[in-house]
Structure 1
């Protein structure tokens, strides 16, 4: 992979209208996928059966489905939650979002009521799967419940991750003020999480708060300079503040770093539109 070109960003005057389309949809999917991977990593102890099963989901998701189904069939009590979590992850890896949402929800319900950390984690996974299915209202209900469990368990980091998915659901439901509150909670809990700053920059930009968007995308770029989604959004903000050359540099860097990705295709579209304008 070629080195990512440094973003040269400066705040400039805001134009009267937005010349570039809103939030790139692949960024939301990337965020949901990354949140689920982080949640999986936090959920288990290294030597547990669940850890072994989750490891198999990464190299052989079809085989992991079979393994988890056998495990689930013979499991009792809280162990059904572990088996269900692995099955849900494997289903998600295979693109079976609806099935994985049901499986994660069943895994949460099989988790002892006093284990609020695992209930939060599995509820969040179910909510994330429903986001992938395009059902933000149902996802939000699960994420709200998962947030309450995480707070009760004193798990600030998990609550912060849940806040990120809540923000995505709230944006989809056209509730930008509530989404801003969720992102503020995510930044407080996860101050070094680049995605929290990226989503915050995007929401600020869409709300017309361009100076705030600039500050937030700069922070995201400091934390994750090799993330093409950040370069894509940095270019949008630069274009909206009249800094066409900065926008071009950002989008060209996305194409250089991830030439075959959907984000590179979007960056090229943005470049073409900017040049035509």
Structure 2
């Protein structure tokens, strides 16, 4: 018996919450990278300012926004201008002013110019995440597509895969599941060792009731990350939906064994109770 009525479908959670920790600190591509418009000794000072501003945004967003605006008045290069907009955008995210944050990240991407595609890609992705937080998946798609294009220009397959996953998240939110399938396929092609891309592909395939495809994808994800509790949990749901109750129990038990204190283990216990016909605990 298929367990559609017993096990609730997991939602496709592709990407972090933009209001929490979706935005990085000092991007790797800025570390020890001299500005094209300033002498090399000035670059550590710029980095220190960006680091200080980003750290402040995590502690006191209003203070960080004031810092970014004051710094902008003294900026002496396109790189510094972009960094001030980057920091202002993050502070605005913390303040949940997502539309303003989106505009700040777009401005930062434009200000950095074409000399640093990896940084441009990150800024475009930040804009996309801000749009998602504002509830505008269609707008987010434009920015995630730009992020992928910039990552391709930077020849960074891992980065490109991550942004393809973000695009898939926006497509699911917009109700365009088939395009999301294609986006996740692009992510797997860009970074075949990305276990998360395989996991989310399996989740979406399962939601679309393509259980054979979902099974193949979750098996590949498990080969890449055998101790990931999210993968074990998804494997159990797929097995349950396919009527393979013994396999489902085994997968849920493995999640509890590998990560007993994890949220996935808590969900696995509830699923096992449902399989056993017991009421879930209060």
Aligned pairs for 1:60-139 (under 5 A) are 61-62=58-59, 66-67=63-64, 69-75=66-72, 76=75, 77-89=78-90, 92=93, 94=94, 96=96, 98=98, 100-139=101-140
Asked if the contact 2:64/2:91 (under 8 Å) is kept, the reply is no
Q: Structure 2 vs 1, CA of residues 40 and 126 (structure 1 numbering), >3 Å: closer, same or farther?
A: farther
Asked if the contact 1:104/1:125 (under 8 Å) is kept, the reply is yes
Residue 164 (str. 1) matches residue 165 (str. 2): yes
Asked if the contact 1:183/1:200 (under 8 Å) is kept, the reply is yes
Deviations 1:144-168 (A, max 9, x none): 2322333344443332221110111
Asked if the contact 1:56/1:64 (under 8 Å) is kept, the reply is no
* Whole-angstrom CA distance in 2 between matches of 1:56 and 1:175: 38
Q: CA deviation at 1:172?
A: 1.6
* Whole-angstrom CA distance in 2 between matches of 1:39 and 1:216: 33
RCO greater where, 1 or 2, for CA within 8 Å and sep 6 or more? 1
Provide the secondary structure at the position in 2 that maps to 1:28: coil
Q: 5+ residue gaps in structure 1?
A: 1-13
Asked if the contact 2:53/2:64 (under 8 Å) is kept, the reply is no
Q: Structure 2 vs 1, CA of residues 51 and 59 (structure 1 numbering), >3 Å: closer, same or farther?
A: same
Deviations 1:65-123 (A, max 9, x none): 7356424422333312123324444665x473725434323322322245433222201
Asked if the contact 1:45/1:51 (under 8 Å) is kept, the reply is no
Asked if the contact 1:53/1:64 (under 8 Å) is kept, the reply is no
Residue 242 (str. 1) matches residue 228 (str. 2): no
Aligned pairs for 1:182-261 (under 5 A) are 182-259=183-260, 261=262
Larger mean Cα displacement after TM superposition, 53-62 or 229-238: 53-62
Larger mean Cα displacement after TM superposition, 239-248 or 192-201: 239-248
Q: CA deviation at 1:257?
A: 4.8
TM-score normalised to structure 2 length: 0.75
TM-score normalised to structure 1 length: 0.76
Residue of structure 2 equivalent to 1:150: 151
Across the aligned residues of Structure 1 and Structure 2, the Cα RMSD in angstroms comes to 3.6
Asked if the contact 2:195/2:221 (under 8 Å) is kept, the reply is yes
Residue of structure 2 equivalent to 1:22: 9
Q: Structure 2 vs 1, CA of residues 18 and 28 (structure 1 numbering), >3 Å: closer, same or farther?
A: farther
Q: Which protein is bigger by CA-based radius of gyration?
A: 2
